[in-house]
Structure 1
Amino acid sequence: MKSTLEIKFIELLKKPVKTSIELQEIEVIGRKLELQYREETSDLISELKEVGYDFNDVWQMVNTKKPYPKAIRILLKYLPKDYHDKNKEGIVRALTVKEAVGIASPLLIVEYNKTPKNKLALRWAIGNAIYATITKNDIESILPIIQDNENGVSRQMFIRALGKIGSEQAESTLIKLLDDDEVILDALNALVKLKSKKAKNKIILLVNHPKSSIRNAAQKALIKYNSCNNLL
């Protein structure tokens, strides 16, 4: 639930024309909100400093190019806490790194499942983190997410993740998703990466799909298929 300060901030930002006083108010409220967000994660930041990482907030981690392997387990410790969505998303995006592979996915999946469906941006960010950190052990846990169309486009990166790590069950699920226009492009992407022989005939049918974006994607997929000797 948004605070009164956040609601005011959003209202001011949405105004197409702003007075000089309103612009000043946006700046003041923005600074206040930033302080609130940082205060909320002060314990997390303190623990990061104890292991040698001099960050002032989680978004500094997201934007740094330096690795932070010792921070992963600390981030996972704080991931389940009831933070503001901005801080929660910052932690999730900070876990979207190779150092979290094989460690972060189980807790990220739990976090996705407990996040309300209306928080689309946050759920999508969690799926993106899964894409970066998935292992074969995660496939069984993400298939129910992918198969539930009520999860909408937040499924996109979960689906693409299956293209990195395949299995027969994953392949079958992806082929079924070629009937789901909401995520069909993501399923195509994953199946091409898997070089799925089983999907090829169904992809051929998509060349006649009513949507031009899907027709074009299917045509490009077939070109990639035909460039692979083992699929000729």
Structure 2
Amino acid sequence: MIMDANTIKDELKKVGISINDIYDLVNTKESYPLAIPVLLDLLQKGIEDVKIKEGIIRALAVKEAIGKASPILIEEYHKIAKDKMMLRWAIGNTIYVTITENDVDSILQIVQDDENGMSRQMFVLALGKVKSEKAEDILIKLLDDEELTPHALEALGRLKSKKAKSKIEILTKHPKSLIKKEAEKALKKIG
């Protein structure tokens, strides 16, 4: 089966959802729980068109996909070439919405691999939404990775990480204003 915009429209129509374009789902305020299994199935069947694939990934960034989408998205992340940075980043952005405690180990592998570059940013932020000592320890280490420092600071602030406090205090004197600002915000949240 060739995966194109019409295939997606036809598959969604079978569950009573009418769209002109996958981005209709991305941009709607309506919930669409019946679309989630269809979108996950289509993603697993393999879509060559990057714009359509990104639309499906972004359409899965809804609470109805929590506990369903992350394992499939993480699998997809590993299949996508490392030079497709924005598509991989979009997966992290969706994981930020769909993360559960069960996803932590898979995400830790992604964020610790430097070769994944800036596509790791939203995965790092997502770790701040889950209570995990392992994740907290990795986030503290990621404070040394300038590509991820602001994201790690935000995640640690959200976790109210007492363990990271002394390292964050040092970052309030960082020469980069973004890092300094995020360190100050994180410290306020930690208290």
Q: Which TM-score band (shorter chain)?
A: over 0.9
Show the counterpart of 1:183. 148
**Higher Cα Rg, which structure:** 1
Show the counterpart of 1:42. 6
Identity of aligned residues (%): 58
**Cα separation, 2, equivalents of 1:185 and 1:94:** 26
**Cα separation, 2, equivalents of 1:51 and 1:220:** 45
- 1:122 maps to 2:87: yes
Deviation per CA, 1:8-62, whole angstroms, max 9, x where unpaired?
xxxxxxxxxxxxxxxxxxxxxxxxxxxxxxx813222112111111112211111
Q: Which runs of 4+ in 1 moved over 6 A?
A: none
What SS does the corresponding residue of 1:179 show, helix, strand or coil? coil
Q: TM-score, normalised by structure 1?
A: 0.78
One-letter identity of the residue aligned with 1:185: P
- 1:139 maps to 2:66: no
Q: Is the 8 A contact 2:26 2:58 kept in 1?
A: yes
Of 33, 55, 64, the residue aligned with 2:28 is 64
**Cα separation, 2, equivalents of 1:219 and 1:104:** 34
Q: What is the Cα deviation at residue 138 of structure 1?
A: 0.4
Show the counterpart of 1:173. 138
Q: What is the Cα deviation at residue 64 of structure 1?
A: 1.3
Q: What is the RMSD of the two structures over their aligned residues, measured on CA atoms?
A: 1.2
Q: What is the Cα deviation at residue 195 of structure 1?
A: 0.7
Q: What is the Cα deviation at residue 172 of structure 1?
A: 0.3
**Cα separation, 2, equivalents of 1:199 and 1:111:** 32
Show the counterpart of 1:111. 76
Show the counterpart of 2:62. 97
**Cα separation, 1, equivalents of 2:151 and 2:29:** 28
What SS does the corresponding residue of 1:222 show, helix, strand or coil? helix
How many residues matched?
188
One-letter identity of the residue aligned with 2:96: Y
Show the counterpart of 1:194. 159
What SS does the corresponding residue of 1:43 show, helix, strand or coil? helix
Show the counterpart of 2:38. 74
Q: TM-score, normalised by structure 2?
A: 0.94
Of 194, 208, 220, the residue aligned with 2:173 is 208
Q: Is the 8 A contact 2:110 2:120 kept in 1?
A: yes
Q: What is the Cα deviation at residue 121 of structure 1?
A: 1.2
Q: What is the Cα deviation at residue 171 of structure 1?
A: 0.4
Of 3, 6, 17, the residue aligned with 1:53 is 17
**Cα separation, 2, equivalents of 1:199 and 1:140:** 20
Q: Which runs of 5+ in 1 are unaligned?
A: 1-38, 227-232
